[in-house]
Amino acid sequence: MHFENRLSQSGDPEDIIAALSEGSAGEYDVGILFLSLMSSDEVEQIVEGLRQNIAMCHFLVGTCSGVVGSDLEIEDQSAATLLLAKLPGVRISPFYMDQAQLKCMDEPADWYQFFDIFPNEHPIFLILPDPFLLDIHQFLKGINQAYPGETIAGGLLSAANHPQGNTLVLDKHYYDQGAVGLALTGNISANTIVSQGCRPVGSPYVVTRAEQNVIHELGGCPFIDVLQEVVSQAEPHDQMLLQHAILIGIAMDEAKNKQQRGDFLVRGLMRLDESTGAGTIGDTIATGQSVQFQVRDAEAAIEDLNALLAMHQEDRSGQKPEAALVFSCTGRGEHLFSCKSHDIGRIQAYLGPMPAAGFFCAGEIGRVGTQTFLHGFTNSMLLFYNNNDHKTETHQPKQ
């Protein structure tokens, strides 16, 4: 197994093609390219130029507002980052899905047929959706049900703020909507780390009355009363953060005796009804689930990322990943941390050195507990690990 990252900070397509074409020779099983702030014509020129210069069995491309390389994050300027991989013993199944196809995916068997992959094969899914004309929540709900607990990661393309403004490429096919991706099975393993950039405030509470996405009571008391108590007892800095945004962490595994970082799915408080005392949050909630209020700022984001990377390093007993794909929210980066390349710097400090590529996303996809969700203000990482070598298989794209 071999990965390498090639990065260009140029905005000129010819310069990008030349820079990304330099490196080890030979045939690669996969190329994953992210291009920031390029026109559709420039994207096509770069893609076709690289296809001529680099032998790749499969080529996945997405457009964005900024890219991530092995050591740099380049925001709000033209740039390109390419991750190349030789994957012996890995079955590579590329796919494309649009909203019309998604509407036909009624049960797990439909997903098995679409991918030609079953849960006992333990697939790793990399997904690059356009954010506008595909119901990503419906997509994730279906794939979670079909492949419970499996590794799913990716990010929403961010080059455009209107429908059909992003470019997606899968091998020789160009799209302006839907999702492209890869399903990997066989001689490869992967882990995800999802840093939601938050820290808890106050104590956990059990939801004692809720319906859909509305929390009526926490610990037998009206939601609004509990919130006011948490705010009144918080430190002054946290009180200021709670005035700007109130976040709720939903415990994903009620069987755990003690909830820790990575165990909560963070969602925002969307509405507070003073007449009923209820709070509406950005996801479904059920009576009996545990929640804890959260705050987010640069300090919390730094603390959360460092803690999760350290936990992962310990869980893997020091084994280093072969490579990383990094999906970071457009709300992070220099805007949040007041310095360049913060997240990739911390990732490499804990887990590197390793080749890495990624982009700044309009929404990040990653697992919390046993399910995969769409997040915001998050850094979601897909980390690849080596297994024993076998022969690589490649398949035609699913469409």
Q: Is the pLDDT of residue 111 over 60?
A: yes
pLDDT at 261 over 90: no
Find the helix packing angle between 13-21 and 40-53, rounded to 10°. 30
Q: Mark 61-76 as b/e (b = at least 16 C-beta within 10 Å).
A: bbbbbbbbbbebbbbe
Is residue 394 over pLDDT 60?
no
188 and 390 Cβ atoms separated by less than 8 Å: no
Model confidence at 391: pLDDT above 80: no
DSSP bridge pairs for 4: 84
> Quick one: which of 158, 178, 156, 160 has its CA closest to 169?
178
Residue 258 confidence (pLDDT): 72
Cβ atoms of 304 and 196 within 8 Å: the answer is yes
Name the region of 239 (left: φ>0; alpha: ψ -120 to 50; beta: rest).
alpha
Q: Residue range 235-257: average pLDDT?
A: 90
Q: How confident is the model at residue 368 (pLDDT cuts 50, 70, 90)?
A: very high
Task: Provide the 8-state DSSP code for 328.
Answer: E
Of all residues in the chain, what percent carry a pLDDT higher than 70?
Answer: 96
Please tell me the predicted confidence (pLDDT) of residue 393.
Answer: 47
Residue 75 has pLDDT above 90, yes or no: yes
- State the pLDDT at residue 396: 57
pLDDT at 390: 38
Q: Is the pLDDT of residue 259 over 80?
A: no
Which residues 6+ apart lie within 8 Å of 187 measured at CB?
1, 87, 88, 89, 90, 387, 388, 389, 390
The model's pLDDT over 11-66, given as tens digits with 9 standing for 90+, comes to 999 999 999 999 888 899 999 999 999 999 999 999 999 999 999 999 999 999 99
Q: What is the pLDDT of residues 273-321, one digit of tens each?
A: 999 999 999 999 999 999 999 999 999 999 999 999 999 999 988 799 9
Mean pLDDT, range 263-279, rounded to an integer: 95
Q: Domain boundaries in the chain?
A: 2-195+302-394, 199-296
pLDDT at 399 over 70: no
Q: Which two tokens stand for residue 94?
A: 């590329």
Examine the pLDDT at 257 and tell me if it is beyond 70. Answer: no
pLDDT reading at 389 higher than 70:
no
pLDDT score for 92: 98
Instruction: State the burial class of residue 231 (Cβ atoms within 10 Å of its Cβ: 0-12, 13-18, 19+).
Output: middle
- The tens digit of pLDDT for each residue in 121-169 reads 999 999 999 999 999 999 999 999 999 999 999 999 999 999 999 999 9
